[in-house]
């Protein structure tokens, strides 16, 4: 079996890492893998085992020519199936390209943002099957009219190994310039509106009155970076909030957090939450999209209504004031990741869909 994977993301965020896990896992099972990705992207510089990387021009939703370039690539390489892993034009134009080349096509959907029933009826005709990374996303698509037999849930996975090593607390605080007695919360997310940083900043003034040792590290990058930094300054939170940026060595440090906060309005599943759980870090997040599948309320963390600043503040305050609760949630989170979110299970789930699609075509 030969699979052409298409990933249009420029950065090696959670979704792109999932593509690497899938492709390498398939290669270990004897599958021939090609990976088309943008020229100059972080993905194009990767050398995944058993995967041939094919950098090409990918200009986003307005790049109509991407359909023709991908169709030409498909005809030249003759894969048995095309797997589209991302948006930025790769979903629509990749589906068109597969149709033009007459090759079956699978789409991975990683976001839970709504689409109109008309858009779903038209766009999803391009794909033989859709794989969602959470049951929450699957339910969104079913509610918008996609046939149940055309969509399957295969949850994202996490390689827990880098997150299992203990983190030296003193080294962690020195790395990020924190006081020795700091209680440290982290946010690991792109700086875009739906990640909900603003809710945390709104809750922080009250939290700091009750928990003056609380400090927050904002990991990541994105178009809202300047705006978020300005808001921190406007609220007078500069002593408590730091912006370490996008860290390639984050697996080394996540376990040093006392909690992870993810106040998103929308989320497909939340790979950063799975990683934090692997590092035995308790989580406060929203009851949105697939997040209740990543975090079990009252077991591995606390779920809040999306956008509810008061509830978010209360949840963070509860963890901040109870070290034993943080320890218990963290331990339960790690155990759950090791039991339920393995890479092998994700790879086998994707491979099962491929086989079903190819058998149906035959």
The DSSP secondary structure of 18-78, one letter per residue, reads HHHHHHHHHHHTT-EEEEEEETTSTGGG---TTEEEEEE----TT-THHHHHHHHHHHHH-
Nearest residue to 192 via CA among 13, 38, 7, 6: 13
Closest among 67, 13, 82 to 41, alpha carbons compared? 13
Phi, psi (rounded to 5 degrees) for 140:
-60, -45
> Do 162 and 251 form a contact (C-beta atoms < 8 A)?
yes
Cβ atoms 26, 347 nearer than 8 A = yes
CB 130 within 8 A of CB 110: no
**What's residue 47's pLDDT?**
86
Helices (H) and strands (E) in the chain, counts: 14, 13
- Domains of the chain, CATH where assigned: 2-157+342-361 (3.40.50.2000), 161-340 (3.40.50.2000)
Instruction: Enumerate residues 6+ apart whose C-beta is below 8 A from 323.
Output: none
Please give the radius of gyration of the chain, using alpha carbons only, rounded to the nearest integer. 21
Strand bridging mode 81-84 / 105-109? parallel
Q: Is 105 helix (H, G, I), strand (E, B) or coil?
A: strand
Give the pLDDT of residue 329: 98
Interatomic CA distance for residues 160 and 337, integer angstroms: 8
pLDDT at 86: 81
**pLDDT score for 151:** 97
The pLDDT assigned to 119 comes to: 87
- pTM, two decimals, is 0.81
pLDDT on residue 226: 97
pLDDT at 14: 80
Query: Residue 180 has what pLDDT?
Result: 94
Say which DSSP state 81 is in: E
Q: Comparing C-alpha atoms, which of 164, 169, 123, 215 is closest to residue 335? A: 164
Q: What is the pLDDT along the chain (362 residues), one digit of tens a residue?
A: 999 999 998 888 888 889 999 999 999 999 999 999 999 999 899 888 999 999 999 998 899 999 999 999 999 999 999 999 988 878 999 999 999 999 999 999 998 888 899 988 999 999 999 999 999 999 999 999 999 999 999 999 989 999 999 999 999 999 999 999 999 999 999 999 999 999 999 999 999 999 999 999 999 999 999 999 999 999 999 999 999 999 999 999 999 999 999 999 999 888 899 999 999 999 999 999 899 999 999 999 999 999 999 999 999 999 999 999 999 999 999 999 998 898 999 999 999 999 999 999 88
For residues 64-103, one letter each, b for 16 or more C-beta atoms within 10 angstroms of the residue's C-beta and e for the rest, the string is eebbebbbebbeebebbbbbbbbbbbbbbbbbbbbbebeb
């Amino acid at each position: 079996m030969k699979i052409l994977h298409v990933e249009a993301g420029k950065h090696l965020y959670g979704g792109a890492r999932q593509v690497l896990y899938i492709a390498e896992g398939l290669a270990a099972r004897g599958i021939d893998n090609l990976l088309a990705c943008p020229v100059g992207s972080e993905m194009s510089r990767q050398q995944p085992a058993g995967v041939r990387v094919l950098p090409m021009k990918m200009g986003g939703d307005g790049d109509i020519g991407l359909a023709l370039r991908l169709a030409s690539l498909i005809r030249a390489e003759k894969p048995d199936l095309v797997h589209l892993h991302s948006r930025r034009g790769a979903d629509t134009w990749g589906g068109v390209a597969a149709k033009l080349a007459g090759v079956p096509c699978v789409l991975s959907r990683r976001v839970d943002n709504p689409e109109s029933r008309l858009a779903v009826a038209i766009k999803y005709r391009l794909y033989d099957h859709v794989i969602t990374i959470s049951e929450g996303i699957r339910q969104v698509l079913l509610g918008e009219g996609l046939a149940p037999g055309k969509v399957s849930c295969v949850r994202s996975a996490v390689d827990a190994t880098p997150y299992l090593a203990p983190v030296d607390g003193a080294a962690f605080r020195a790395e990020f310039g924190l006081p020795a007695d700091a209680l440290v919360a982290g946010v690991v997310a792109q700086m875009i509106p739906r990640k909900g940083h603003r809710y945390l900043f709104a809750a922080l003034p009250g939290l700091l009155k009750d928990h003056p040792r609380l400090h927050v590290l904002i990991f990541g990058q994105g178009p809202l970076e300047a705006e978020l930094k300005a808001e921190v300054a406007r609220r007078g939170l500069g002593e408590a909030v730091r912006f370490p940026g996008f860290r390639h060595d984050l697996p080394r440090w996540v376990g040093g957090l006392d909690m992870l906060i993810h106040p998103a309005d929308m989320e497909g599943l939340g790979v950063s939450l799975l990683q934090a759980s692997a590092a035995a870090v308790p989580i406060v997040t929203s009851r949105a999209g697939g997040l209740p599948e990543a975090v079990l309320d009252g077991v591995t963390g606390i779920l809040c209504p999306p956008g509810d600043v008061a509830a978010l503040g209360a949840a963070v305050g509860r963890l901040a004031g109870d070290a034993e609760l943080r320890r218990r949630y963290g331990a339960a989170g790690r155990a759950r990741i090791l039991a339920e979110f393995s890479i092998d299970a994700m790879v086998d789930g994707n491979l099962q869909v491929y086989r079903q699609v190819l058998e149906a075509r035959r």
